[in-house]
Amino acid sequence: MLRALLLAFGLLVAAAGAVAADPLADIRAGNQAFADGKLEQAVADFSRAIEGGGLDSESLALAHNNRGVVLGELGDFDRAILDYQRALELKPGDPKTVRNLRIAHTRRGLAAARNGDVDRALADLSRAIELEPGHPTAYVRRAELRLERGDVQAAIDDLEAAVRVAPDNKEARTQLERARAALANRPQPTATAETASSGAGTADSSTPTAGGVAPGERPAAEPTSRVAVAPSSPLADRESAARASSDGATSGPRLRVTSDVFVRAEPATSSPAIGSLRRGAEFTPRGEERGWFKVELADGRAGWVYRRFVEPVVGAAQ
């Protein structure tokens, strides 16, 4: 009986020794759990491999990389990125880990964009580009965010880079064509328009410089292409879209709208639109504030148009 017990104990020790001699067992278990769709179990297996202390540096890098993949599938991009970074510390320049880290930054950036955190999204996408500048996805996604912000030229730069690294990428080419068209249709402010309200040769310190933005304003919210106006709207008539009242004070020369544009209730892009002006409509501003010109509409209401969308009428009385 005693001999049988000793034999059984010996077998248990031998089995334990066999497990201890195979530090990759937990990694293999994690890989299988991942293949079976058991993501939480896979994280636990890879964590056990990492925390066990029996892996060499290359195997430990593998465990961190694999756990990062699973965490990414779970949407835990912060922890996934930390795992990839640790894997690269252990195995610098590993192409698979670099690729996975680039994907994680891209996916975290897109998640941030969906939540309205555009700054973080841009930072993650920029990091993704740094990691793999030869991959087009992050360029295209960053260009989309820049277009939404009105940074059309920066978006074009991104899309051109995407096309250079992936000439067959149809999405990048299509968006590049659209961005170039938007830039071509965007009216550019002239030096005269920038300084018309003060009559001076240069803008004073209280107004933004040429091509700038009034404090707190985001011109991206203004239309950069033609605005559809219902034919039944009184604003659809170019001749009656705006008027200069003969019995009120005016400020500066007569101006012309260079693109269909919204008229805001207050001098701010966050203010609601109360109407619109068609391209070519002329008016004499009723006032000027922070780069916005006050205009009186055909129905007598007063609103504001940003200076980027107007130009002086050549030959008009000053």
The closest of 172, 174, 116, 124 to 148, measured between CA atoms, is: 116
Q: Locate tokens 């937990």: which residue?
A: 26
Give a yes or no: residue 67 inside a domain.
yes
**In a shared domain, residues 46 and 103:** yes
**In a shared domain, residues 215 and 279:** yes
pLDDT tens digits, one per residue of 112-146: 988 888 899 999 999 999 999 999 999 999 998 98
d(CA 255, CA 312): 4
d(CA 199, CA 285): 13
Six-digit token string for 268: 């701010």
SS3 121: helix
d(CA 252, CA 194): 11
Q: Locate tokens 């087009």: which residue?
A: 136
**In a shared domain, residues 85 and 49:** yes
**In a shared domain, residues 178 and 44:** yes
Give a yes or no: residue 216 inside a domain.
yes
pLDDT tens digits, one per residue of 25-61: 999 999 999 999 999 999 999 999 999 888 999 999 9
Start-to-end C-alpha separation, the chain: 117
Tally of domains within the chain: 2
The verdict on pTM exceeding 0.75 is no
Find the farthest-apart pair of alpha carbons in the chain and give their distance in angstroms, rounded: 119
Give a yes or no: residue 10 inside a domain.
no
**In a shared domain, residues 41 and 148:** yes
The closest of 314, 247, 254, 311 to 284, measured between CA atoms, is: 254
**In a shared domain, residues 225 and 299:** yes
CATH number at residue 196: 2.30.30.40
**In a shared domain, residues 247 and 153:** no
Give a yes or no: residue 1 inside a domain.
no
Write down the pLDDT at residue 1.
Answer: 43
Buried b / exposed e across 273-306, counting CB within 10 Å, b at 16+? ebbbbbbebbbbbbbbbbbbbbbbbeeeeebbbb
Domain that holds residue 154: 19-184
Is residue 250 within 8 Å of residue 232, measured between CB atoms? no
Is residue 108 within 8 Å of residue 138, measured between CB atoms? no
The closest of 144, 252, 137 to 192, measured between CA atoms, is: 252
**In a shared domain, residues 164 and 198:** no
Q: Locate tokens 């000439």: which residue?
A: 167
Crossing angle for the helix pair 77-90 and 95-114, nearest 10 degrees? 160
CATH number at residue 115: 1.25.40.10
DSSP state of 227: P
Is residue 292 within 8 Å of residue 306, measured between CB atoms? yes
Per-residue pLDDT of the chain (318 residues; tens, 9 = 90+): 434 433 343 433 334 444 444 668 999 999 999 999 999 999 999 999 999 888 999 999 999 999 999 999 999 999 999 999 999 999 999 999 999 999 999 999 999 988 888 899 999 999 999 999 999 999 999 998 988 788 889 999 999 999 999 999 999 999 899 888 878 876 655 443 333 333 333 333 222 322 333 333 333 333 323 222 223 233 333 333 333 333 344 456 889 888 677 788 888 766 777 877 887 889 889 888 877 899 988 778 899 888 877 888 876 544
Write down the pLDDT at residue 239.
Answer: 31
**In a shared domain, residues 134 and 67:** yes
**In a shared domain, residues 169 and 45:** yes
**In a shared domain, residues 31 and 139:** yes
d(CA 286, CA 296): 7
**In a shared domain, residues 30 and 160:** yes
